[in-house]
Amino acid sequence: MAWKKGDLEGVWLFNPNIWKDDRGYFTETFNARDLPEPLASIVFVQDNEAKSVKGVLRGLHYQLPPYAQSKLVRCIEGRILDVIVDLRPQSLTYGQHLSILLDDIDKMQIFVPHGFAHGYVVLSETAIVAYKVDNFYHPKAEGGLLYKDQSLAIDWMLPEDAFIVSDKDLKLPIFNEHRPFL
């Protein structure tokens, strides 16, 4: 298993070992003993899973303290573009975003720390996305950013008319108007 630092402060990428043979494959998708030292104290409390069709765009979501969530995100089936935005004003990478392809082939995962907005768009015909979180969902602490905020300049890899977005996500504020993450 190989963990490496991502391009944004506090973000980690994980490439699991995959053993393949004529029967299929085997991989260990998570082992707390293998977490890098900065993540060693993380305790995940819940696993979430969503299946979506091509063009579904979920996000960009976050929860405010004290209900903020770190996430370990993977794509079980299909292919997605996973996007995170650093919302921590004290961070050297504040306001920057990272886009990464996650799929069912190499099974890379991304660790998203507290203080990031997170979202993804489905690029394959369907996709199943799973993620572990280290805090329980709290409705009154939820926040988000509008996925098409021009100041973020996120390339979602699909044309705008291909997106399937919830009414709730279409009403999210732009970066300069979001609830502060302090």
Tell me the CA distances in angstroms from 174 to 60, 85, 142, 171, one per residue in order: 10, 12, 15, 9
Side-by-side strand order, sheet with 46-53: 2-5, 12-15, 109-112, 71-77, 126-133, 46-53
Radius of gyration of the chain from Cα atoms?
16
Beta bridge partners of 99: 83
Q: 61, 97, 114, 178: which one is catalytic? A: 61
Q: Which residues contact 47 (CB under 8 A, 6 or more apart)?
A: 130, 131, 132, 133
Q: Which two tokens stand for residue 105?
A: 């082939």
Q: Is 147 an annotated catalytic residue?
A: no
List, in sequence order, the alpha helices (H) in the chain.
Answer: 167-170
Q: 62, 120, 131, 147: which one is catalytic? A: 131
CB 41 within 8 A of CB 101: no
Distance CA 52, CA 138 (A): 23
Q: Is 114 an annotated catalytic residue?
A: no
Q: Which of the residues are catalytic?
A: 61, 131
